[in-house]
Amino acid sequence: DVKGIGWQGRVWTAAVSAGGETGVTGTANKQVWILDRGGNLLGEHRAEADVFTVGISADGQTITAGSGDQQVYLLDRTGTLLWQERLEDKIWAVALSAEGQQMIVGAGEKETHLRAFDRSGQPRWKRYIKGGVGGLALSDEPKRIIVGTRQGHIYIFDNEGEILHQAKARKIIRDVGISGNGRVAAAASEDGNLYTFLLPEYSVKEKGKAPAPISYVSQIIQIIGDGNVVGDHSTSQVNK
């Protein structure tokens, strides 16, 4: 059983490790709370502003967070600070690789962009995109990144920051997801549709072939870790 924990302050965001043994929350009272499956406090870290976005590695040993004062943090499971960086841009979303070695940050107002950092905090790459980040997700292996924006743009990147595919919804993208093996990606839009993409096993960049859209659907489907799409839903073909 998992017991509930109450805070004097709004919880903005939460994430859970792959095995469900460790959870992390970001709150309006500037706290990152790290909990075990029983709801016991493992660690905490006080940020300098509201914590709007968090991520956690598959084993629950590494945590990332983004706060309202334009800072990103990397923490261990006890809440000990490994490093922090002020980006001088609003932070919309963070994602952490399964092994905790890479952080992806969606940031920016006028010049919205993605940034990649390694575990030591060294920047790896920076890529500009159109519109504020509405959702961000990172697959396990191969590492592929999907991001959706408030202008309805959908981008899929490889681990080096190269664009593999772009698409456009009619309205804002609220959330995105990608299977652990990087084969299936999806973006949920306020236009009432879920945009889903089947990605090839090989490098899209090497083969020079864009991933094919699977379907253009008006109801939720479930995407599971091995890339299978399950659920009873009707589809109509996406215009390529």
- For the whole model, what pTM was predicted? 0.81
pLDDT tens by residue, 74-122:
999 999 999 999 987 889 899 999 999 999 999 887 778 999 999 999 9
The Cα 90–Cα 58 span in angstroms is 26
Q: In sequence order, what are the beta bridge partners of 196? A: 186, 215
Tokens of 207: 């083969």
Would you give the distance in Å from CA 60 to the centre of its chain?
A: 16
| pLDDT per position as a tens digit, 133-142 | 989 999 998 8
- The pLDDT confidence band at residue 201, using thresholds 50, 70 and 90, is confident
Per-residue pLDDT, averaged over 168-195, amounts to 91
Reduced to 3 states, what is the DSSP secondary structure of residue 204? helix
- At residue 202, the pLDDT reads 60
pLDDT band at 230 (very low <50, low <70, confident <90, very high): very low
Window from 75-89, 149-163, 187-201, 207-221 with minimum mean pLDDT = 207-221
Query: What's the rounded Cα separation, in Å, for the pair 120 and 231?
Result: 41
Q: What is the pLDDT of residue 7?
A: 58
User: Which residue type sits at 96?
Assistant: L
pLDDT average, residue stretch 132-158: 92
CA 139 to chain CA mean position, Å: 9
Residue type, 174: R
Adjacent-strand bridge partners of 64:
55, 74
Indicate whether 6 pLDDT > 70. Answer: no
Q: Average pLDDT of 28-54?
A: 93
* pLDDT above 70 as % of the chain: 80
* Length of the chain, in residues: 240
Q: Say which amino acid occupies 89.
A: D
List, for residues 51-77, the tens digit of each pLDDT value. 999 999 999 999 999 998 899 999 999
Q: Residue 151 and residue 170: Cα distance in Å, rounded? A: 8
Nearest alpha carbon to residue 75 among 67, 174, 149, 182:
67
**Mean pLDDT on 157-174:** 92
pLDDT reading at 236 higher than 60: no
Q: Would you call 48 exposed, middle or buried from its count of C-beta atoms within 10 A (0-12, 13-18, 19+)?
A: middle
Nearest to 22 by CA among 11, 34, 33: 34
What per-residue confidence (pLDDT) applies to 5?
A: 59
pLDDT score of 214: 52
Q: Are 35 and 75 in contact (CB under 8 A)?
A: no
Question: Using CA atoms, how far apart are residues 34 and 166, in angstroms rounded to an integer?
Answer: 35
pLDDT of residue 229: 45
On whether the CB atoms of residues 176 and 203 are closer than 8 A, the answer is no
Average of per-residue pLDDT values in the chain: 83
Structure token pair of residue 103: 């952080």
Q: How distant, in Å, are the alpha carbons of 55, 114, 127 from that of 124?
A: 19, 11, 10
